[in-house]
Amino acid sequence: MHKLFSAISIFLLALSTTTLNVEAQLKGQYPPVDTPPPPVASWTALVDQTKLPKAPLRPPGTPCAPTDEFCVWSCTTCTRPDTDFDFCPNKGDWALTYDDGPTNNTLKVLNALNTRGIKATFFVIGSRVYENPQILKQIVDSGHQIGVHTWSHTALTSQTTEEIIAETKWTEMAIKEAVGLTPKWFRAPQGDADDRVRGILKQLGYKMAFWNHDTFDWESNSDPTYDLNWIPANFTIWVQNTTATTGFASLEHDAFNKSSSMAETAMDIVLKAKFKPQSVSVCLGDKQPYVENFTLPPSNINGQNATSSTTANGSKPSVISKNGASSVEKNLLLGTVCGLIMMILGFFGTI
């Protein structure tokens, strides 16, 4: 009897694990993760390259020019008002932004945000979306904004125009398949953008999101000397700026275990100082964060979550798994499996 019980348990566990693995994949054909994706001719044709500024490519390690002719943000934090965001315009507003997910570490950040009723913006990497579409769906269903953060996280000023378009469109395609939305906001890895990059993204229908408060928390993933206490220490200093006439925008990362573990503390510092955290689009008053007609809720900071995001007809977008089943159907199947396990455990417990 014990051998039969063990065999059944192993079978059911394998079935549930298979269900989760299938659900964690998109059905589209995508390039290898974490490498610059191949250009697609139809996507390249969307950009009129004759209208782009003639900014030169800047291979990694290229020193900044003595004169910033092409508004290279990663050299001089130069911005263009018609395309760029780097702070909330209204005093007291604070855009909390998180880069490089979605990963399992995102769930810690997401739980902390949702518990406090805070809405934020997540700039997601296409490779991570491909691996974790269900986590992306949780972000969207919780009322948070998502934006594009390229497929491979490569410095854009080092890439050709064709490569930048591919980085954007492959990520856009994965997001669309995962949650049914097409973002209109983009963040360049390391903030590495110039006027050529802006011109490409503008023609593709995007605005550029930067920041004016950087935690440098990404260093915690590779630098053993990075002190995690620097994150709350910086927030503590930033919130003391009561003379600013505008709001702020901070950069954190939800991809790494150490940095994401400090996100909750940072949120509480911002809230205690009576700032109003919001997503980028909400703090800007941007009513069209996606190509689709979709409403982002504001934060509801009273210990309760704000209403989750909805489409124009009141429905929520549904993620599709590799075999074409929706996440709801998959969750029902997984629930059935768990129920069977509990029934069998109860049955054998009476023998």
Answer with the residue of higher pLDDT: 322 or 330. Answer: 330
Choose the weakest-confidence range: 6-10, 42-46, 169-173, 200-204: 6-10
127 contacts 34 by C-beta, under 8 angstroms: yes
Q: CB neighbours (10 Å) of residue 226? A: 17
The mean pLDDT of the chain is 85
Give the mean pLDDT of 111-133. 98
Q: Single out the catalytic residue among 99, 192, 195, 254.
A: 99
What is the model's pLDDT at position 15? 42
The pLDDT tens digits for 164-201 are: 999 999 999 999 999 999 999 999 999 999 999 999 99
Answer with the residue of higher pLDDT: 329 or 200. Answer: 200
What is the model's pLDDT at position 84? 98
200 contacts 39 by C-beta, under 8 angstroms: no
Q: What angle, rounded to 10 degrees, do the helices at 263-272 and 230-238 form?
A: 20
What is the model's pLDDT at position 336? 40
Structure tokens at 32: 């290898």
Choose the weakest-confidence range: 22-31, 104-113, 168-177, 326-335: 326-335
Most confident region among 20-29, 90-99, 318-327, 331-340 by mean pLDDT:
90-99
Give the mean pLDDT of 4-25. 42
Structure tokens at 36: 């610059």
Structure tokens at 115: 């518990």
What is the model's pLDDT at position 224? 87
What is the model's pLDDT at position 314? 41
Give the mean pLDDT of 153-168. 98
The pLDDT tens digits for 198-245 are: 999 999 999 999 999 999 998 888 888 999 999 999 999 999 998 999
CATH class of 83-284: alpha beta
In the structure, what pLDDT confidence band is assigned to residue 332 with cuts at 50, 70 and 90? very low
99 included as an active-site residue: yes
- pLDDT at residue 50 greater than cutoff 50: yes
What is the model's pLDDT at position 171? 98
The pLDDT tens digits for 282-297 are: 999 999 999 999 999 9
Give the mean pLDDT of 137-157. 98
What is the model's pLDDT at position 222? 82
Alpha helices (runs of H) in the chain, residue ranges in sequence order: 2-23, 41-44, 73-76, 106-116, 126-131, 133-141, 161-179, 195-203, 230-238, 257-260, 263-272, 280-284, 327-349
Q: Single out the catalytic residue among 100, 217, 253, 254.
A: 253
253 included as an active-site residue: yes
Residue 307: strand, helix, or coil = coil
